[in-house]
Structure 1
Amino acid sequence: MREQLAGIQFAATSSAEQPIARASAQLTAFVGRTLRGPLHQPIVVRSFADFQQHFGGLWQPSPLSYAVEHFFEQGGRQAVIVRVANAAAPVTLSLKCGRETLRLEARAPGTREFLRASVDYDHVESGDEQSFNLVIQRVRSPGSERVEEQETFRALSVDPQSPRFITSVLLESDLMRVRGNVPMARPDRTLMPGTNLPVGYVSSNPDGDDGKPITDYDIIGSAARGTGLFALESVDDLAFVYIPPLARVIDVGVSALLVATRFCRDKRAMLIVDPPSSWESAPEAIRSLKALDFRSDNALLFFPRISAMDRLRGRVEVFGNGGAVAGLLSRSGEAVAAAVTEREPEPMLRSSAKLAKEINSSDRWLLAAMGVNVLQSVRNPDREWPALRTLACGASASSDWSYLAQRRFSLFVINAIERGTRWCAGSPNAASTWMRVSRQISNFLSELRSAGAFASVPADQAFLVICDERINDEADGINILVQFAATHAGAYHSFMLTHRPGGATVRPVMVNRFEATLVVSRELEQEITLRLTPKDDLISVLALN
């Protein structure tokens, strides 16, 4: 059942001769409560039908389920879901072992995990009293014969010394594991009720618990254990992360948003933030945002919330807009096109969703000045609308990164180069590798220049790639300095990429091409002085925290 994330992750380039791919990240991550499914495991879904199969579909206590529905209705392509829960408990299943009982429990907690098991002794030697075969099935509903997933385990044993000891073997199961001690006697053969035919099943007990409403702490999780948000650490190609409201009337707290923003910064993704449910008007949104003082060039917010049909309640309800926003942005085109086009597409909702409140044109521009975007359900007759913003709102080191298209483009460039140059982590830290890396990245940036990027400067000033002995030594990983022109003339984006066998790190840096002396502020970690040839232009590279 479980999707393999490796199937959707970007394959690392095998050699420098292979060009860096221009595929833009479109994967949106949702973290929250669902009806069923494994906890803290990122699972990719490509349709709402996929989501129903893995996570049980719409569920009133799960705003995430509605957000995923809105995502695909608005044109979303693929999403990765991380289920979290608060004090949820799994169902159990009891297999008779003579006078004792072998207890199994579901891997995934909740009341909607309908499991059954069958035991037989087929192909087990007649003198072997410890071995048996076990079949575990997930069915659609109690008493249903519609099997959604099945696992078969041959020649299991109740002997702890056996390599087929049931406790050890079921560690590989996606459905069940052993709870408690294993009896000395093997499980009895399961028979069809009222017969001696060995084709019966034992159903799970109705003792699961869906748990309590989740909290910010459940969302945040643990970096050490890889839970909550940090379950996404292994996921590549993330474009957006969205945390739906914790419950119908409970917004995500500031603590979770701050952790999620930092996580998105480290993953080079964008966090989609819902407008609080208390925002009743544009002026109130502006006042509240000033008081909140939440600024980040890795976060974006759209206003207002949306109205959509609640198919469980049979009426129109108001929802957070993050799922719809993620779907809208996913279908709006790749990051390269969004950055180089003269005009972004309007943030138009499809007909399945409407605006919960109407916003007039003047308020639209006032909100944009605060970094808040406004959704549309009908086309703007004036054909003029503010460019989409991030929540940086002047707080970013780069004016470019106050705009969503430019921020997405810069993240695309950084991510593409990081993925496309992973091959060098296993190559010698030598001049031959440095030269190949430099050529590969330069070719990639030249292609982007031909597509219309870096148009604010002449071609010979569009980008800079340094990978040589000035920033590399034999003891450390392979360091690559990359700089490319921002949309605003005279501004540049710069970063230092380091590849090591254990992984890669990316640090934003400040590169000054012309100043011979430079005052280093306390916020800067280190200063590296480079001298370019043949012009001998002095470059100071300051690595930021």
Structure 2
Amino acid sequence: MHAAMSYASTVTEHLPASVYPIAGVDTSITAFVGRALRGPVDEPVSIASFTQFERLFGGLWEHSALGYAVRDFFLNGGSKAVIVRLYRAPDPIDGVVRSHAIVRAGALTLQARDPGTWGNALQVRVDHELLTGDPDSFNLSVRDSATGHVEVFRNVSLGAGHPRRVDLVLRSISRLVTMSGKLPAGRPDSHPRAPQQGDAWECGAASNSGVMDADRAVEELPLTLADFIGKGNLARKSGLYALDRADLFNLLCIPPYLDNGGDLLDAGVHSALLAEAGAYCELRRAMLLVDPPPEWDSVDNAVEGVAALGTSSRNAALFFPRLRQPVDQRGGRPTRLAPCGAVAGIIARTDQQRGVWKAPVGMDATLIGVPELSVPVSDSENGMLNPLGINCLRSMASAGRIVWGARTLHGDDPDGAQGKCIPVRRTALYIEESLVRGTRWVMCEPNDDQLWAQIRQSIHAFMVGLFRQGAFQGKTPHDAFFVRCGPETTTQDDIDHGVVNITVGFAPLKAGQFVLVHVQQAAGQVRSH
């Protein structure tokens, strides 16, 4: 420790060109995994607003809690989200799974790009108003009548060698349809022109083609545990593991999805999924935000049920109780909804205003758009729940609904505050992720004293920046953090195997009491623990 402290006390203002600056990563990108009305399946899609979610995934839907969680995330201060839509196909009808709607224009058969009943609103128009006399070319227009969105593809062709062959154009550009089956032998007939004072899309089947009854998609089935973590999902990167294709996320929300014959907005999450999601977040250096089970309609039920929740990961945090919000799709009737999205938004808001090291709690951590909570929690009840790792949402006369707890679900913790305190754990994850990404340049460098000195200088400059922002306790960098990378962390055996080990300590709560972060770079592959 003394050797590390000797160089941790010197502030480097101007780094030599050989030292690589380390940039801090984002801290509040929130991943949502679940059911949506429309959109690509098993594919992480980054969005920056709820309007974008409405356009790509269909917005609020009373058969899924996901849309409401995403809405509350952006409403409460979130700015970046990753959406993974899961889809469970309907049962076969006459041996056919009708998951995608089909719309036809003569012999040209188009299929909704993504599964779901949203495709039943598709319409198509063809016209031959071309500048050339090519007998294989035509103009194709596709409309989603539910949203009014129209895509127009001019001068597409059925010619096998044509640069705008219709199937290739649709595959690469269209968000609504792809072509199904083989190219027709001849181009589809033109639809009649719109009346002089009318809209061709609103003039019935004569002016456009819609989805026929026999081609309509059937309602999808509610999700099950297997849709998230079933056999083969990891290898296919589907379900929860579709997030393997997301570069970075910091918070994970799995809104309730279980169909227990009740309300899908006020449903549950399987304990096995919470266990796997907690472990997955540890691998991805993220935090899982856990919603209280639907049966927790009292403080006593919460006390009795927390042990059976499914996870006690230091990368998981539970917030209780559920929210009560009016749902327009149900005539404004107040409905219990999961708090994970709103809490994630407050965390993002706090990160932006104060930093990842600030606990997202207190009078400033107000829940926007939440008129009431499903269970009132008193001071004494909060004092009973908090030591169990249950973070309470409370109503305060002076502030409204607020977050009033910042503990993880980790119980007996040999690491002390690192595993029990949300801001400490998130700060450690932030530093680790930033260092893992910011020291990748070492993979091609000789593993010697010069490299170790460069690493120390780069990380020291990064940590000084955090110290100046108030991330650590201590009056000087010497008291607030240390950086070790040298013969005390990297043995001769490590050198022989091309491994360099880095240890960083920071003081989140008290000067001189350090939480440790370990990073290992090896032979071009980054591994951390």
Q: Confirm or deny a common fold (TM above 0.5).
A: yes
Q: Which residue of 2 aligns with 1:56?
A: 58
Q: Which residue of 1 aligns with 2:417?
A: 399
Match of 1:252 among 244, 261, 269: 269
After TM superposition, the structure 1 = structure 2 runs for residues 317-328 of structure 1, keeping only pairs within 5 Å, are 317-328=335-346
Cα deviation 1:256-312 (Å, max 9, x = unaligned): 112211221111111111101111222221111124463111111111111111111
Question: Residues of 1 paired with 2:309 and 2:417: CA distance?
Answer: 22
- Contact 2:359-2:406 within 8 A present in 1 as well: no
After TM superposition, the structure 1 = structure 2 runs for residues 408-487 of structure 1, keeping only pairs within 5 Å, are 408-425=426-443, 427-429=444-446, 431=448, 434-455=452-473, 459-460=477-478, 462-466=481-485, 470=491, 473=495, 476=498, 479-486=500-507, 487=509
1:139 aligns with 2:144: yes
Select between 115-124 and 101-110 the one with higher mean Cα deviation.
115-124
State the 1:388 CA deviation: 1.1
Task: Name the CA shift for 1:152/1:467 in 2 (closer, same or farther; >3 Å).
Answer: farther
Task: Name the CA shift for 1:121/1:71 in 2 (closer, same or farther; >3 Å).
Answer: same
Amino acid at match of 2:179: V
Structure with higher RCO (Cα < 8 A, 6+ apart): 2
- Contact 2:432-2:519 within 8 A present in 1 as well: no
Question: Residues of 1 paired with 2:24 and 2:212: CA distance?
Answer: 51
Task: Name the CA shift for 1:109/1:351 in 2 (closer, same or farther; >3 Å).
Answer: closer
Task: Name the CA shift for 1:411/1:285 in 2 (closer, same or farther; >3 Å).
Answer: same
TM-score by length of 1: 0.77
- Contact 1:48-1:72 within 8 A present in 2 as well: yes
Alignment root-mean-square deviation, CA: 3.5
TM-score by length of 2: 0.79
Question: Residues of 1 paired with 2:326 and 2:355: CA distance?
Answer: 33
Cα deviation 1:27-63 (Å, max 9, x = unaligned): 1111111111121222233332222111112111011
State the 1:112 CA deviation: 1.6
Task: Name the CA shift for 1:349/1:473 in 2 (closer, same or farther; >3 Å).
Answer: same
Question: Residues of 2 paired with 1:412 and 1:438: CA distance?
Answer: 18
1:79 aligns with 2:81: yes
Q: Which residue of 1 aligns with 2:153?
A: 152
Amino acid at match of 1:152: F
Question: Residues of 1 paired with 2:359 and 2:225: CA distance?
Answer: 39
Higher share of residues assigned helix: 2
Unpaired runs of 5+ residues, structure 1, are 1-14, 508-545
- Contact 1:44-1:79 within 8 A present in 2 as well: yes
State the 1:412 CA deviation: 1.1
Match of 1:349 among 343, 356, 367: 367
State the 1:419 CA deviation: 2.7
1:104 aligns with 2:110: yes
- Aligned to 2:391, the other structure's residue is in SS state strand
- Aligned to 2:313, the other structure's residue is in SS state coil
Task: Name the CA shift for 1:225/1:457 in 2 (closer, same or farther; >3 Å).
Answer: farther
Q: Which residue of 1 aligns with 2:520?
A: 497
State the 1:165 CA deviation: 5.5
Unpaired runs of 5+ residues, structure 2, are 1-16, 91-98, 202-206, 258-263
State the 1:386 CA deviation: 6.6
- Aligned to 1:413, the other structure's residue is in SS state helix
- Contact 1:136-1:175 within 8 A present in 2 as well: no
Question: Residues of 2 paired with 1:479 and 1:187: CA distance?
Answer: 64
After TM superposition, the structure 1 = structure 2 runs for residues 203-352 of structure 1, keeping only pairs within 5 Å, are 203-205=210-212, 207-220=216-229, 222-246=233-257, 247-292=264-309, 294-313=311-330, 314-334=332-352, 337=355, 339=357, 347-350=365-368, 352=370
Task: Name the CA shift for 1:140/1:343 in 2 (closer, same or farther; >3 Å).
Answer: closer
Amino acid at match of 2:60: L
Amino acid at match of 1:496: V
Q: What is the count of residue pairs matched by the alignment?
A: 474
Question: Residues of 1 paired with 2:64 and 2:457: CA distance?
Answer: 49
Identical positions, percent:
28
- Aligned to 2:82, the other structure's residue is in SS state strand
- Aligned to 1:80, the other structure's residue is in SS state strand
Q: Which residue of 2 aligns with 1:20?
A: 22
After TM superposition, the structure 1 = structure 2 runs for residues 160-171 of structure 1, keeping only pairs within 5 Å, are 166-168=166-168, 170-171=170-171
- Aligned to 2:265, the other structure's residue is in SS state coil
State the 1:424 CA deviation: 4.3
Question: Residues of 2 paired with 1:190 and 1:353: CA distance?
Answer: 54
Task: Name the CA shift for 1:277/1:155 in 2 (closer, same or farther; >3 Å).
Answer: closer
- Contact 2:60-2:68 within 8 A present in 1 as well: yes
